[in-house]
Structure 1
Amino acid sequence: MPKGTIHLNRSMDSVGAVSFELTHIGSYGGPYFPVLTISSEVALNAFRDRIGAATPAVCPLTLMRIVGELRSPDHRTVARFEHNPMLRAERADGTTNGVQTFSIPLDLSTIDQIERSRGPGDLQVMLNLLPIFAIHMPNAAVIFEVGRIEGLKFPIPRSQWVDNLLPGLGYGGLEILEVRYASTTIGKHLQKSVGEIRDAKKALLDGDCHMAVLHCRRSVEALLESGSSALPPSMRFQQKVETWISDNFKTVDGTEAKLLAEQMQVVWEVTSAAAHSGSSHSFKARESEFLIRTAMNIVEYVNRLS
């Protein structure tokens, strides 16, 4: 459990703590307004003023604002945020507790940079928090003080980041594939191809380039199942593609048909190594990303034609 101690800068006094469970980190709003959330427990104590008195005066303390930075890794700020907890502690012999949720706005380009530097392991995160207090003095004066919160450096497990948080942020390793399925026979069956591409993106995030490429091949093969008539299994792939295009897209001219057929053929041929376990070719991340983008373009193009 990450836990940070709250200090006042002026007196160096410890006046509380911020802590949270890693399972209380969430995400929502993607892909257009992605937000990372951290639900934390804030414990706050009253301030003891030891200046000019034999017995320290107990002064109510209000935590008015927290200005924060999300860093990943800890030397690089990737997002800034503010939170207004308005938590007040008055008693010297007790602690005031409150649940506070930090909402950290992100964008897909920032998330992409985080992913590129993360590598295959856990996400290393640091929260740099600057609390702002109001100290209510015995003479009714209010003094505003700045503090600091130390100790909030922690890893988010790769499985939690990839499986739970990135989907809520709307990030799939590549730009989001959005298909408004047409009401035609082909349009109604594009979901399978889109599903294969999403599986390819997830495999790429997991570092399994071989499986990512295989899903690209399957996404193209799934398109041929969406036509108005079944194609014989014994037919060569190139012939299947040409027959499928001519049977289902009557308004497409020869040049456009050739463009689509060649792109589908390229993806299918290049990914042949992934479909055969005996192949010695080891796909790289850049190859996988290129093939995913190509498969995405093919599916989006077919959807427009349908």
Structure 2
Amino acid sequence: MSKGSFEIGGMSQDLEIDLGLLEGVYDGLRSYLRVFLSINLRFPKNFGKAALDFMNVQAGLLESSTGMTLSNVLAPMGEVIYDQENYRERKTGIWFVFQMDKEVVHSLQKIRNKADVNLKLDLVFSILRKEGTSFIDNEMIWSLEKTSFCRGSIWFTIPQSTWVNKILPGLGWPGFLLIEIPLKHRNLNEAYENIIFEFNKAELYFNQGEYNVCIAHCRNAMDSLTRNLTKLKNGTKSESAFKWLSKVDDSTLTWIDTINKTTSSIASKPHHSGMKTDFTRCEAESIYLVTLGLMNLIGQYQE
């Protein structure tokens, strides 16, 4: 459970998120994160005959370490509290359904970097204050006064295991996107940043259906990877790099070079009349996965 609160007239209003109820949902077109917020409303003692009508709540989902806004939603409430038995305190709950597009999930994957996902809910409650004027047939008649806004926040953490094994699959993400590769490499330095750049471009164009361009960027990533491994092997880097590279035996380097050349041959578009010039999604995905696998392997080898 994660807990938070906000105040109305000096009275604490409790917030709680049950992490076990978090779920990712994919409807065939869009992905959503469902979050259930429990709210314990208490009527302030100094509000007399007034009533507080909680009309709706605006919820913003943020990545807590950066403050980056991920998604927003407006949810109705319809809860009223006032100074009468059974209405002084009300327990209620709201399901927030946050849209989680590809860019949002990619950003969270990079920020969390193999760790937990740290999130925050910023809440703005729209509250209509009403004043009791008289009774008709034992029912209170209210006069409307004004709408006010109260703000609250609650922080919560999704464990890595829950995020990877439950939330991401629920969001509809294919399995190969769950493979995580380090974003930096101590031995390859700037070259590795270029490799990551090319791979990210490949992923971007794959998702856009530009399979020829995707494959071209896969080739660039693998070419750069192979060239820089060769430089290390041939002694153009530091002694510490040799110690690191000794973990990657010659057979692995030969295998990487062979895979690179083979994939480059497959990915070279023929220009002869009547021959294939465009790649299918399946072909691009296969080359993409080979590239991802090689980067994942080398990414784990660092001094």
TM-score by length of 2: 0.55
Across the two proteins, how many residue pairs are aligned to each other? Answer: 202
**Alpha-carbon separation, structure 1, partners of 2:41 and 2:171:** 32
1:45–1:91 Cα contact (<8 Å) kept: no
**Alpha-carbon separation, structure 1, partners of 2:285 and 2:127:** 62
**Alpha-carbon separation, structure 2, partners of 1:127 and 1:57:** 31
Matched, 1:63 2:34: no
Give CA-to-partner distance per residue, 1:107-160, whole Å, 9 cap, x none. 11221122122111000101111111112223433221110113x112110111
Tell me which amino acid in the other structure corresponds to 1:204: E
**Alpha-carbon separation, structure 1, partners of 2:168 and 2:130:** 43
1:168 to 162, 167, 170: 170
1:37–1:104 Cα contact (<8 Å) kept: yes
In structure 2, the residue matched to 1:284 is: 299
Give CA-to-partner distance per residue, 1:47-84, whole Å, 9 cap, x none. 43x3xxxxx51422221111111111341111111111
Give CA-to-partner distance per residue, 1:182-240, whole Å, 9 cap, x none. xxxxxxxxxxxxxxxx3x44343899xxxxxxxxxxxxxxxxxxxxxxxxxxxxx99xx
**Alpha-carbon separation, structure 1, partners of 2:44 and 2:286:** 72
**Alpha-carbon separation, structure 2, partners of 1:88 and 1:265:** 57
Pick the structure with more strand per residue. 2
Helix, strand or coil for the counterpart of 1:117?
helix
1:15–1:46 Cα contact (<8 Å) kept: no
Over 3 Å counting, the alpha-carbon distance change for 1:283 and 1:137 in structure 2 is same
1:32–1:107 Cα contact (<8 Å) kept: no
Helix, strand or coil for the counterpart of 1:159?
helix
In structure 1, the residue matched to 2:228 is: none
Structure 2 unaligned spans of 5+: 134-141, 184-257, 263-272
**Alpha-carbon separation, structure 2, partners of 1:70 and 1:32:** 21
1:99 to 93, 114, 127: 93
**Alpha-carbon separation, structure 1, partners of 2:294 and 2:93:** 53
Over 3 Å counting, the alpha-carbon distance change for 1:269 and 1:91 in structure 2 is closer
Helix, strand or coil for the counterpart of 2:105?
helix
Give CA-to-partner distance per residue, 1:70-107, whole Å, 9 cap, x none. 11134111111111111122345642111211111221
Give CA-to-partner distance per residue, 1:276-302, whole Å, 9 cap, x none. xxxxx94238xxxxxxxxxxxxxxxxx
1:225-304 mapped onto 2 (5 Å cutoff):
255-256=275-276, 282-284=297-299
1:44–1:88 Cα contact (<8 Å) kept: no
**Alpha-carbon separation, structure 1, partners of 2:286 and 2:92:** 59
Sequence identity percentage = 15
**Alpha-carbon separation, structure 2, partners of 1:41 and 1:111:** 25
2:73 to 73, 76, 81: 81
**Alpha-carbon separation, structure 1, partners of 2:126 and 2:165:** 35
Give CA-to-partner distance per residue, 1:224-271, whole Å, 9 cap, x none. xxxxxxxxxxxxx99xx9xxxxxxxxxxx99549x99x9999899989
In structure 2, the residue matched to 1:18 is: 15
Structure 1 unaligned spans of 5+: 51-55, 173-197, 208-236, 242-252, 275-280, 286-306
Over 3 Å counting, the alpha-carbon distance change for 1:37 and 1:205 in structure 2 is farther
Helix, strand or coil for the counterpart of 2:40?
strand
In structure 1, the residue matched to 2:148 is: 145
**Alpha-carbon separation, structure 1, partners of 2:177 and 2:101:** 18
Over 3 Å counting, the alpha-carbon distance change for 1:283 and 1:132 in structure 2 is same
2:60–2:122 Cα contact (<8 Å) kept: yes
In structure 2, the residue matched to 1:6 is: 6
